[in-house]
Amino acid sequence: MDPRPLGRTGMQVSPLCLGTMMLGAWGNPDHDDGVRIVHRALDAGINFIDTADVYSRGESEEIVGKALAADGRRDRVILATKVHGTMGEDPNERGNSRRWIVREVERSLRRLRTDWIDLYQVHRPEPDTDVEETLAALTDLQRAGKIRAFGCSTFPAQEIVEAQWASARRGLGRFVTEQPPYSLLVRGVERDVLPTCQRHGMGVIPWSPLAGGWLSGRWRAGREAPGSTRAERIPAYYDLSRPENQRKLEAVEQLARLAEELDVTLIRLAIAFVLAHPAVTAPIVGPRTMEQLESQLGAEELTLSAETLDRIDAIVPPGTSFSAADAGYTPPAIADASLRRRV
């Protein structure tokens, strides 16, 4: 795989990033199988692995750590993880505070069996925490050598800009990457997030290029909705009684027919589409099984013509997302009615 620059960090990464959310109780609880999946990805040329503390409450990090320790290729891997999600009953075992970040990074390092993290990401915004507090903590960890670089995930464009301004104003390290949701069915970030990342020279590592399984080829009109562990966790995202999900299904059917005309799988078409955006560094592929990984490898070799991209735009227009849930983050001003009503 031809390497790509990870923003302006100086690090070079493969055009596919191995996501490991599905390794552990959330997906595949077999640790040995998870280790094999990691090793197969490395053998295929992937040198970029992404995980998070919250994935199966640390179990995903443990599997990744076990795989890298057994393989001996840690020095050749760009290893990314994230902080923010709830990790315990204590209300302070979560979030973007200095108190939590400096504590949780140590636990991630132990689970990953490493002395440093190449890319440490803030998993979601937290409006109740000053972004300068977060950036200062991350800068101190970078200077201490515990992390090499830091980024954000699923941040709205305005919060990315605010963080960049805060870094410049306070002389702090800055977010050098963003990890947004982006796929054939979730194109909202084309409006503002991706151009903002380009303007600030940030690497972009899109999550869920298969739209949470909608573009796996298993969702087709006239068929029974497939079951999945993800659908069990967030059923509303897959509930076909919802109009927005019916519109997704209609779009999937048209995209599947386009893939058949091109003689490629829908999976590879979907990943190649994300790779085609000039802002994108490496989409995250998140297999649960070895078969899923094999179906995704090779997508980086597929180049889509302008005509094909035009046909995709006709099915799902640029900047389109089918529901607010696709953004992966609901701002408090939307979720909490008291913040938008004078009562």
Catalytically annotated residues = 55
Q: Which helix (DSSP H) or strand (DSSP E) does residue 70 occupy?
A: helix 59-71
Structure letter (DSSP) for residue 149: E
Residue 308 CB partners (closer than 8 Å, separation 6+): 258, 262
In whole angstroms, what is the distance from residue 52 CA to residue 212 CA?
17
Tokens of 117: 């993290």
Task: Name the burial class of residue 75, with classes exposed (0-12), middle (13-18) and buried (19+) by CB atoms within 10 angstroms of its CB.
Answer: exposed
User: Would you tell me how many other CB atoms lie within 10 Å of the CB of residue 339?
Assistant: 11
Structure letter (DSSP) for residue 337: G
Tokens of 119: 């890319």
Tokens of 47: 């040198």
User: Tokens 């992966």 label which residue?
Assistant: 328
Tokens of 286: 């998140």
In whole angstroms, what is the distance from residue 179 CA to residue 177 CA?
7
- Tell whether the torsion through CA atoms of 93, 122, 12 and 49 is positive or negative: positive
In whole angstroms, what is the distance from residue 226 CA to residue 211 CA?
14
User: Would you tell me how many other CB atoms lie within 10 Å of the CB of residue 70?
Assistant: 12
Mapped to the 3 state alphabet, what secondary structure does 49-68 carry? EECCCCHHHHHHHHHHHHHH
Tell me the sheet residues that pair with 301. none
In whole angstroms, what is the distance from residue 95 CA to residue 84 CA?
4
